[in-house]
Chains A and B, each alone.
Chain A
Amino acid sequence: AQTVTQSQPEMSVQEAETVTLSCTYDTSESDYYLFWYKQPPSRQMILVIRQEAYKQQNATENRFSVNFQKAAKSFSLKISDSQLGDAAMYFCGAAGANNLFFGTGTRLTVIP
């Protein structure tokens, strides 16, 4: 079985500050990918960042980075220098060879 858990339904951050969104997963797959998608109010789903499970180095995309702890099955997303445009719903997900799961999402509010 494969599950993805996002324990924070809502988070808020002050503009220019840093925020970390939590994600834990469980999978029986030996090879898998993890990813974060962003859904702004426009409803469009946008890939933020992805991580290959066999890579130890944490993925980074500009202000977005992950803290991938494979043994703990944790995959948190860090947003640095938060901007108003970062306000959105964020979904964590995991994909193996045979299945794909998303978490229930974390709604991020950015306070000016």
Chain B
Amino acid sequence: DAGVIQSPRHEVTEMGQEVTLRCKPISGHDYLFWYRQTMMRGLELLIYFNNNVPIDDSGMPEDRFSAKMPNASFSTLKIQPSEPRDSAVYFCASSLALMGNEQFFGPGTRLTVL
């Protein structure tokens, strides 16, 4: 397996634009997670899915953020409209279960909003 795949690796956009980050989890993993990493807040869990269903989105900062998982092999995190304070590295991770199983992280998407 190629591991968790994220695209794009880098994204530079202007304030107000829509940004879509993509993730392909490891095949067979039932859980998918979206994280945001910043210097100030460290690694924050934004939302996670179990079998394509969003379970906990309490970490999503505001309504400008939305995440979907239309099938077991694809998820998106969308920011609309984007703001400079959204600049961060966004990670996607997948695992077999929530407890006890290793989460496998993608390489991350570095987002810069000008």
Question: Which residues does chain A contribute within 8 Å of B33, judged by CB atoms?
Answer: 100
- Cβ < 8 Å to A, chain B residues 33-70: 33, 35, 41-45, 48, 55-56
Q: How far is the CA of A50 from the CA of B103 in the complex (A)?
A: 11
Pair A44/B98 contact, Cβ less than 8 Å: no
Stretch of A17-25, A69-77, A78-86, A90-98 with 4 or more beta carbons under 8 angstroms from chain B: A90-98
A-B contact pairs, 20 of them (CB 8 A): A31-B99, A32-B99, A33-B100, A43-B107, A43-B108, A44-B107, A45-B91, A45-B105, A50-B100, A50-B102, A95-B98, A95-B99, A95-B100, A96-B98, A97-B99, A98-B55, A99-B56, A100-B48, A102-B44, A105-B43
Pair A102/B98 contact, Cβ less than 8 Å: no
Question: Which residues does chain A contribute within 8 Å of B107, judged by CB atoms?
Answer: 43-44
Question: Which residues does chain B contribute within 8 Å of A105, judged by CB atoms?
Answer: 42-43
Partner pick for A103 among B42, B48, B103, CB 8 A cutoff? B42
Nearest CB to that of A53 among chain B residues? B99
Place the interface of chain B in its size category: 20 to 34
Q: A102-B43, A102-B45 are in contact. Are A96 and B99 (CB under 8 A)?
A: yes
Partner pick for B93 among A6, A31, A45, A98, CB 8 A cutoff? A45
Residue of A91, A98, A99 contacting most chain B CB atoms (<10 Å): A99
Decide if the interface of chain B is mainly helix, strand, loop or mixed.
Answer: strand
Interchain residue pairs A-B with the least CB separation, the first 4: A104-B42, A45-B105, A102-B43, A47-B102
- Cβ < 8 Å to A, chain B residues 72-114: 89, 91, 93, 98-100, 102-103, 105, 107-108
Query: Besides the contacts A33-B99, A50-B100, what 4 more A-B pairs have beta carbons closer than 8 Å?
Result: A6-B42, A101-B45, A104-B41, A104-B43
Pair A47/B45 contact, Cβ less than 8 Å: no
Chain B: minimal CB distance from A59 (Å): 12
Decide if the interface of chain A is mainly helix, strand, loop or mixed.
Answer: loop
Chain B: minimal CB distance from A97 (Å): 6
Question: Which residues does chain A contribute within 8 Å of B91, judged by CB atoms?
Answer: 45
Question: Which residues does chain B contribute within 8 Å of A97, judged by CB atoms?
Answer: 98-99
Q: How far is the CA of A101 from the CA of B41 in the complex (A)?
A: 12
Nearest CB to that of A42 among chain B residues? B107
